Amino acid sequence: MKILFLDQSGKPGGAELCLIDIAKPYKDSCLVGLFADGSFRNLLEQNHIRVQVLTTQAIQVRKESSLAQGLGSLGQLIPLISKVVQKAKEFDLIYANTQKALVVGALASFFSRRPLVYHLHDILSPEHFSQTNRRIAVTCANRFASLVIANSQASQAAFVAAGGRSDLTEVVYNGFDLKNYQSHEFDVNKIRQELGLEGQFVVGHFSRLAPWKGQHVLIEALAQSPVDVTAILVGDALFGEQEYVQHLHQQVKTLGLENRVKFLGFRSDIPLLMSACDLVAHTSTAAEPFGRVIVEAMLCKRPVVAAKAGGAMELVENGINGFLVTPEKPDELAQVITTCFKEQQKTATMAHHAQMTASQRFDVTAINQQIAVLLNKLLLKTSS
């Protein structure tokens, strides 16, 4: 099967990491077309996946853009669409991995007469997207896509609520390569020593620094937690959110937590850093479509506490394989942190259970098989 994957980003976010895993089985015959250059291209090349940057001109449409702004970007899209149409004729199907890729892929699908698959990694809700963006995504999917793969039931429900056709959708969770989440105790102790975390109960937060990711909630909760609790924030601002980063540093200073919060920036050794934590916190203030960090923490056999909304509720059973707290309630989060601090043996048993169930539910081999079945069924249907 020859697949033309499309993605708008030059930087690796959750959707892009997922795409790498999906593309690997087809690396001998697929192409990933990017709408921006960056470190994501390097990651694809490291995984021996053929990649081409199709445009170097940034598409000036954001999640909150209005109709006028959307229409204003059409001029720059035409050359890109034309290029994708020509590329698509060499492949069996177009696989759009992001919303901008969907718009381009939809028109390329129409002109190249190749079926379109849309992998929905977002919750199409007012909290995340403007009405114009939601309408464009739903219209393109309903009119041009032959299949919409939603990464959670929450994403699927939001798509349908926004006007999307339920008969197009299939839910397939993200897959994970289990061997990537096995860390040796020697390496874990070494990284804790390097970061000055010996003797501390470490709460890790792994996400880009952005208001809706809720790092400020964790910092507020830390101020209400035992003094031996330290937080590490792994990630940095991606989309011009430096003002929020400054706010976080000021918050730490105001609360007198300079010695208890470490900003580590972007890191490539996420599984090792997670394994060095005693608890991983997910604190998004708006519903997450999936919650990749939650599963990664489980696979690292670490207790996890997550905001009770969106896809996280499909991953975490409160008190069984993790903890759920109300979004933007630092006092609830502080209570969980304190419980985990005081009852480490109990939470370790919970984390062991979480690792076992996550290994069964999210093994990339099984997930890729689900996608392969859907794609083969689609090609048989469209060719008949």
pLDDT digits (tens, 9 = 90+) for 330-368: 999 999 999 999 999 999 999 999 999 999 999 999 999
> What per-residue confidence (pLDDT) applies to 205?
98
Provide the b/e sequence for 232-246 (b: ≥16 CB within 10 Å). Answer: bbbbbbeeebeebbe
Give the single-character DSSP code of 167: G
Q: Is 93 helix (H, G, I), strand (E, B) or coil?
A: strand
- Inform me whether the pLDDT recorded for 280 exceeds 50: yes
Q: Is 178-361 in the same CATH topology as 3-175+363-383?
A: yes
pLDDT confidence band for 74 (50 / 70 / 90): low
Half-sphere exposure in the Cβ direction for 284 (13 Å, CA): 21
Q: What architecture is the 178-361 domain classified under in CATH?
A: 3-Layer(aba) Sandwich (3.40)
**Domain ranges for the chain:** 3-175+363-383, 178-361
Asked if residues 312 and 288 have their Cβ atoms less than 8 Å apart, the reply is yes
Q: What pLDDT digit, counting tens, does each position of 188-224 carry?
A: 999 999 999 999 999 999 999 999 999 999 999 999 9
Interval 284-298 mean pLDDT: 95
- Check residue 55 and give its pLDDT: 86
Phi and psi at 151, nearest 5°, equal -85, 0
- 181 exposure class (CB count in 10 Å sphere: 0-12, 13-18, 19+): buried
Asked whether the predicted pLDDT for residue 270 surpasses 70, the reply is yes
**Exposed, middle or buried, 215 (CB in 10 Å: 0-12/13-18/19+)?**
buried
Q: Give the whole-angstrom CA distance, residue 114 versus residue 85.
A: 9
State the pLDDT at residue 262: 97
CA distance 217 to 127: 18
pLDDT at 58: 63
Q: In whole numbers, what is the pLDDT of the chain averaged over residues?
A: 92
Using pLDDT thresholds of 50, 70 and 90, give the confidence band for residue 56. Answer: confident
Strands laid side by side in the 304-307 sheet: 261-265, 229-234, 201-206, 279-281, 304-307, 323-325
At 1-36, the pLDDT tens digits run: 999 999 998 888 889 999 999 999 999 999 999 999
For residue 95, the surrounding DSSP H or E stretch is strand 93-96
Torsion angles phi and psi, residue 163, rounded to 5: 110, 5
Can you give the pLDDT at residue 65? Answer: 46
Residue 150 near residue 120 (C-beta atoms within 8 A): yes
| Nearest to 337, CA basis, from 203, 200, 223, 198 | 203
The helix or strand, by DSSP H or E, that contains position 51, with its residue range, turns out to be: strand 51-53
pTM of the model: 0.90
pLDDT one-digit tens code per residue, 131-168? 888 999 999 999 999 999 999 999 999 999 999 999 99
CATH placement of domain 3-175+363-383:
3.40.50.2000
> In this model, does residue 283 exceed pLDDT 90?
yes
